[in-house]
Every structure is written in structure tokens, then in C-alpha cells.
Amino acid sequence: MFRFWKYGSTECQRDYIFLKKVSQYTVKDYIRMIKNGQDSDLYHGFTKVHHVEPQSNWLPKECWKNLTVLRYQKEMTEKLEAFLGVPLKKPLTRRNVSHGDPVTLDPEDLEWLRDQYREDFELWDAVNSQPELFKKVI
């Protein structure tokens, strides 16, 4: 999310003024803004509150059994065709790719994120280790 917020993406371009304003911000600064609720810097243009809210707010455990989860893979067309049982008219392409280089979190920030987004981590762990909890995991 940090890269999308700071640099934008292929479909959501950041303007020069914003890029200049945040040019020195690191992922650590971004996490600090989330911790401190610095909304004026966090929610700018196409980034809104739902970008930093826990995903589990929309996907509570009691709903997991009704969810079909699509895990991202570089080639999704064949998997989706097999699931749907019909061929797609054209191959799926990757859209809205975030700009910027990958980031590395320090242990302190990772610990805070694991605590703050505990249920999101539980959801992801369940998708990967307990697919039977969901309608389908692709």
C-alpha cells in the first residue's frame, strides 16, 4: 500500500506537487502516519480511509465459508477459466500496478503491523494453510 500511496500506479498517477511533497517519506514515515492518524497526508487524491483499514472489516470470519478467494498469480487466465468452466474471450492482464521499488520492514514496524492488522494476517494465513475454511481458494 505504501508504494501505491506514495508513487501511484499505472492507472492512478500522482501529480508532481504530491510527489515532491512526499519525496523523502519512507515506509517508516507511512506507518507512523497510520499510527498517528495523519489523515491529511494519508488520504490524498485516490487514496482513502479504506486503503488503510483492515481488510477483515469487510471479510469477517463468519463469512469465510461463502468466499471464493483468488490468490494472485502471474498467469490467472487458465485458473479462472477452469473455475468458471468457460473460456475467456481474452487473457487477463495485470492492471493498476503500483510504481516504486519494493520495501523492507524493520522488525518493530512488522510487529506493529501484525498487531494492528492481526485479523488480516489470520485471514491470509488461513487462505494459505486452511483452504477448507473457504468456499474455494484458487
Query: Which one-letter amino acid corresponds to residue 62?
Result: E
> Would you state the pLDDT for residue 130?
98
> Would you state the pLDDT for residue 94?
80
> Would you state the pLDDT for residue 66?
97
Intra-chain end-to-end CA distance of the chain, in Å: 23
> Would you state the pLDDT for residue 93?
83
Task: Please identify which residue in the block is written with the cell numbers 516504486.
Answer: 100
List the pLDDT tens digit at each of the 138 positions of the chain.
899 999 989 889 999 999 999 999 999 999 999 998 877 888 888 888 888 899 999 999 999 999 999 988 888 899 899 999 999 999 888 878 889 989 999 999 999 999 999 999 999 999 999 999 999 999
46 C-beta neighbours (distance < 10 Å), count: 14
> Would you state the pLDDT for residue 74?
80
> Would you state the pLDDT for residue 85?
95
What three-state secondary structure class fits 106?
Answer: coil
List the domain boundaries for the chain: 2-137
C-alpha cell belonging to residue 17: 506537487
> Would you state the pLDDT for residue 27?
94
